[in-house]
Amino acid sequence: MKLTFKKCPTLMLLALFSPALFAQEKIAISDADIIRMGIVFAAVQAPDKNAGARFPATIINSPDSIANLSGRYSGVIEQWYLSSGNAVSAGQVLASIRSSEILSVQNDWIAAISAQENAQFEVRKDEALYEQGVISQQRLLQTRSHLQQAMFAQQSARAQLILAGFNEARLNALRENGDGLGSYFLVAPNTAVLTQRMGAVGDYVEANVPLAFLNSGERRWISIHVPGRFATHLDIGQTFAVANSGETLTLRQKDFVIDSSNQTIELFAEFNNSNAFTTGQIISVVLPPSRQGILVPDRAVVHSGNTATIYARTNSGVEARELDLLSVGADYLAESGLRAGEMIAIQGSAVLKGIQLGLGSVE
């Protein structure tokens, strides 16, 4: 048997302009000819967790937990109390920073306490005078208003110190003994692990610059940017997989605004189990097909315009099938037209296409 190809202009035009003409056509071909022409078939299956489009992703701490701590005021790092890798508990001091800016806040608070105490004394005095009929009610109302203003000023300055790491004990020590005067503290908000320190003792740091990075102990997340067309079919709760790994993730958050600079949408997914990945690490994540179907290798598909054709093995030879395919990374997904286990050509599809279009024959 010998395969020959006939150069026929008419049939070549049909191949170019009428790709749908031979849809679902059966091609009679023997096993011997299949082997001789180098046509290779492979069974198709439903996609596994490694099938799909692959994108780089960055490991991050859970966005629902505090991942870094910044100094509230500019100053000089005075002391680190813990090293990277140490476990910390909520309220534990990580570092102290000496700052002239916090000194001003501390002075304001001390002055506000004195003003509040004086205002409280004036209110008690005027209440007694009002009971005796010495002063008017309006005078008493003014005195009480001054007390409210003094209390607000004291509470405002106190709140700023609490944000700067002063708890009740440190506030009392500051007021009574001047302990901590001119310094403030970096305090862990919750139980975590100190993963990174920024800056050494004696370094000058600007306000609101991260000084410590924490891992709360919760499972890590990933941040991944995907083209808008991929994100359209992704739903919260969908499972992703790390390429060539057994790790899986669950989609937790999804932006609904496309980044105009690169036409992508940011996704956030949480690992389903603890793992050895570290914050900041770049990994490859597989976004599986959003629909059910059969995975079709890219090399098995012959494209003619908008038509995609595959060649399935049958008892009598080969059957050409036009399928509606969805792109899933490097390959395709067929929602219908194929069954798991069917054999399709993954090598020699172009030869079968030529025979189908009458450009060749088996003699």
Residue 17 confidence (pLDDT) above 60: no
Token couple for 328: 């899933």
Q: Using CA atoms, how far apart are residues 74 and 162, in angstroms rounded to an integer?
A: 17
Q: How high does pLDDT run on average in the chain?
A: 86
Tell me the mean pLDDT in the region 30-45. 89
Domains located in the chain, CATH noted: 3-47+293-362 (2.40.420.20), 53-64+219-287 (2.40.30.170), 68-215 (2.40.50.100)
| pLDDT at position 337 | 87
* Digit-coded pLDDT (tens) for 236-269: 998 888 988 878 999 999 998 888 888 899 999 9
**DSSP state letter for 259:** B
pLDDT, one tens digit per residue, over 154-165 is: 999 999 999 999
What's the rounded mean pLDDT across residues 69-94?
93
Give the helix/strand (H/E) hosting 100: helix 100-131
CB-CB contact of 273 with 239 (8 Å): no
pLDDT exceeds cutoff 50 at 125:
yes
The candidate with the shortest Cα–Cα distance to 241, out of 45, 48, 44, is: 48
| pTM assigned to the model | 0.57
Quick one: pLDDT at residue 230?
75
* Of residues 25 and 242, more confidently modeled: 242
pLDDT exceeds 90 at position 94: yes
CA distance 40 to 34: 8
Q: What is the pLDDT of residue 9?
A: 43
Q: What is the mean pLDDT of residues 121-145?
A: 94
Mean pLDDT of 71-75: 95
Q: State percent of the chain over pLDDT 90.
A: 50
